[in-house]
Amino acid sequence: MTATPAGHARLAPVPPPSSPTVSWTDLLRAATDDCLAALLEAAEGADDRDWSRRAHGLDWTCRQTLDHLALGLTGYAGLLIARPTDRYITLFASLDPQAPVPDCLEGLRIAAALLTSTVRDTAAEVRAWHPWGHSDAAGFAAMGITELTLHTYDITRALGPAWSPPDALAAAVLTRLFPDAPVGHGPSDTLLWSTGRTALPGLPRRTEWRWDGT
């Protein structure tokens, strides 16, 4: 993790929920519903050719970004199920390249539901490998929310309408994965800064970043 810039204190922690897996399950469901609604609006306002343009700030097209999301969400569920200690799982998920984009959102919802149910059913003591820190179910839920919200932001910035991660989701993710995030800014703006999407007053846009899933 990159050290917190001088003069900026760490984000004040959010009190831990009394039932972490249930709380993170609810957050994942909320993220899925919110992001898919925004993506559907973008899909209805553009044709499939528009989805071949690059997502905002990424080398992937908007459609490739959707495929990355399906891969990532399914992969996080797989890591919690297989629990490898030093590698990624051998299952890879992708969306039908011939399907219309609105239909592909069905596949994204399936991938998110697989992760949500896996988080719900995984014991609190379970840990699984991730290159950015071996993590528990809550950590993988936070990673899934991060993937959903950030890439929904990337796609809607390229296609419209404008959308940003909801503050409640951003605050939970910052506390779990970005303990050195600066204070004094809204949670959504801070998450976008922490992941190299935007600048903040007095803080330039980051060119390198990673979360801490430990």
More confident residue, 1 or 125: 125
Quote the tokens at residue 189: 């703006």
Q: Measuring CA to CA, which residue among 141, 109, 122 is closest to residue 28?
A: 141
Q: Measuring CA to CA, which residue among 117, 63, 54, 119 is closest to residue 94?
A: 63
List, in sequence order, the alpha helices (H) in the chain: 20-44, 62-82, 101-121, 137-159, 167-177, 187-194
Which domains are present in the chain?
20-194 (1.20.120.450)
Distance of CA 146 to the CA centre of its chain: 2
Residue 18, pLDDT above cutoff 60? no
Structure pTM?
0.88
**CA dist., res. 185 & res. 71, Å (int):** 32
- For 84-109, what is each residue's pLDDT tens digit? 889 989 988 899 999 999 999 999 99
**CA dist., res. 61 & res. 136, Å (int):** 31
- For 167-182, what is each residue's pLDDT tens digit? 999 999 999 999 999 9
**CA dist., res. 7 & res. 71, Å (int):** 38
The confidence band for 46, taking pLDDT boundaries of 50, 70 and 90, is: confident
